[in-house]
Amino acid sequence: MSAKESTHSGIAKFGAVACGHPDTAAAAEEILRDGGTAFDAALAALCASSVVEPVLSSFGGGGFLLAKGADNHQTLPGRSRLYDFFVDTPRHRRPLDQIDFTPITARFKTTEQEFHIGLGAMATPGQIRGLFTIHRELGSLPITRIMEPAIRLAREGTRLRQTEAYLFEIIQPIFLARAESQAIFAKRPDCLLQEGNLLQQPELAGFLDALSHEGERLFYEGEIASQLIRDCRDQGGLLTLSDLSGYQVKIRKPFSLTYRNWQIDTNPPPSAGGILIAFALALLQEESFAPSGFGTVSHLEKLSRIMALTNKARVESALHEAASEQEEKDAAQKLFSPPFLERYRREVAEHPHNPRGTTHISVLDSKGNLASLTLSNGEGCGYILPGSGIMMNNMLGEEDLNPAGFHNWPTGSRISSMMAPSLARGHQGQLAVLGSGGSNRIRTAILQVLINLIEYDMDAAAAVTAPRLHVERGLASIEGGFDADECKQFIATLLENKACSHRLWPGRDLFFGGVHTLSRTGSGQVSAAGDPRRGGIAKVI
């Protein structure tokens, strides 16, 4: 991905988009040029992403949209709203010996991670319900028009880039697990499609065409739903018709905070990612990065300390083990209680300041509407829903999403997530739209891009491409690109203080998230950046 493709700037005649794939961006651009709003374009991008980014997004998964209307928007005049269409846990359990729940190993460049797949790893999907709910409330173009680009992409096909080929390589055991998945995604039974191969999905194209005309009931209540429930009953799944027909999109008030005269809106509880970003920013509220340049020892030490304290606060508040929406809200309330927050602020002040599968779409339009949309299918459970061409999610097989342990989730409950679509507005009219994929790295990736935008006054392109740090479980992962001398001093300080161990990465890597970001100055200059770590693309239209 060239710098020209991954970043762009200028005055937006129609709008701007930053996302993870050129075809996803093209779908959003097509709708913006056709007179659609940022919300129409985001929904078109959602559909396209679910076709061309099959490891990261699927109509069998879920996600979140943080939407802010222009001052004259009919539904959201100058206000923000969070649409939560993430997955639900099933309403009923089965004996463990009746569940199709199989471990597989995903092999990244420098590490391995175990996931679980099979029909027993599938949670109740929300993406299609989210698509139609958001369209009813915010859409201006017909849903048939919005879904046109995705249907065309599924029918005509898309060429796999290096990014998608690498993701296929990582999760190969999932996509080769069943014959019906091999029929779509494999060159032969032991080899998935590779870079340059054409991915065509005619069955998915036919289903999407029918869905665009018949609506969401086709998926949640029709023959497709009946087929899914039969397969769950007969092949070790957990979903029932009541899970599908009873699924509802949750509409929430975003969590808002003020930081350095910027108002930041993000994903509220029961999701954890937004609240942890907000907590980290709250710890920094009385601090300042200004005296230290980007990438200095002072900057890196402060970031690592804040990340470590946020991890500690997550555990102490019990946010890491919350098993229900109410427990998530209680833990978040404790995080932001004055005594708790003040104690952690003192810890920052007293510290010396010297020596999976997820994708995001950001859209703004010339009218002033903003859309921050994050989607996930986990890695997929290996099962293709017959008659649809859809790979279903494996959210119940994700360790990060099941803090109480596999099979211990509360029934019929929205699963918490680290996904944190966010919006930021400066006091001089600046705007930023951002979010990220990257599992537990989501919150630290977004935090650093926000700091780059606000503290260091970077535009989107510079803020996104700057190297990153991630601290978790006693390990500081340091991305290549920082000043070598400053980085060496930072590592020496870590060793001297026995703060944590470290791992140096040779260059930019998708491990550190994919923060697809738009920013706009008070004068209207737009900067767009698709994160090159995840093959991002950006367009100012």
How high is the pLDDT of residue 481?
94
How high is the pLDDT of residue 346?
52
Which range is most confident: 125-129, 271-275, 499-503? 125-129
Strand ranges for 343-402 from DSSP E? 358-365, 370-376, 384-385, 390-391
Listed residue (133, 50, 75, 100) closest to 367, CA to CA: 75
With beta carbons less than 8 A apart as the criterion, state whether 200 and 160 touch.
no
Residue 451 neighbours by CB distance under 10 Å = 24
Listed residue (152, 151, 131, 127) closest to 39, CA to CA: 131
Listed residue (453, 471, 468) closest to 527, CA to CA: 453
Q: Would you say residue 2 has pLDDT above 60?
A: no
Could you give the percent of the chain with pLDDT greater than 90?
69
Q: Would you say residue 80 has pLDDT above 80?
A: yes
How high is the pLDDT of residue 309?
82
SS3 407: coil
How high is the pLDDT of residue 351?
34
Listed residue (366, 521, 329, 363) closest to 435, CA to CA: 363
Q: How far apart are CA 507 and CA 509, in angstroms?
A: 6
pLDDT band at 350 (very low <50, low <70, confident <90, very high): very low
With beta carbons less than 8 A apart as the criterion, state whether 460 and 7 touch.
yes
The reply to whether omega before 270 is within 30° of 0 (cis) is yes
Q: How far apart are CA 156 and CA 161, in angstroms?
A: 16
Lowest mean pLDDT among 225-234, 322-331, 352-361: 352-361
Which range is most confident: 123-132, 264-273, 293-302? 123-132
pLDDT averaged over the chain? 90
* Average pLDDT, integer, range 475-479: 93
Class of domain 255-359+420-540: alpha beta
Listed residue (497, 425, 505, 435) closest to 470, CA to CA: 505
Helix, strand and coil percent figures for the chain, each rounded to 5 = 40, 20, 35
Q: Would you say residue 400 has pLDDT above 70?
A: no
* Average pLDDT, integer, range 91-100: 95
Residue 395 neighbours by CB distance under 10 Å = 28
* Average pLDDT, integer, range 265-279: 86
Q: Which of 266, 310, 358, 359 is catalytic?
A: 358
Q: How far apart are CA 11 and CA 178, in angstroms?
A: 48
Q: How far apart are CA 165 and CA 185, in angstroms?
A: 11
pLDDT band at 148 (very low <50, low <70, confident <90, very high): very high
* Average pLDDT, integer, range 66-90: 95
How high is the pLDDT of residue 496?
84
Backbone dihedral angles phi then psi of residue 375, each to the nearest 5 degrees: -130, 150
* Average pLDDT, integer, range 61-90: 96
* Average pLDDT, integer, range 112-118: 86
Q: How far apart are CA 303 and CA 309, in angstroms?
A: 10
Which range is most confident: 32-41, 394-403, 417-426? 32-41
Active-site residue, 24 included? no
Please report the DSSP string for 65-91 in residue order.
EEEE--TT-SSSTT-EEEEE---B--S
How high is the pLDDT of residue 190?
86
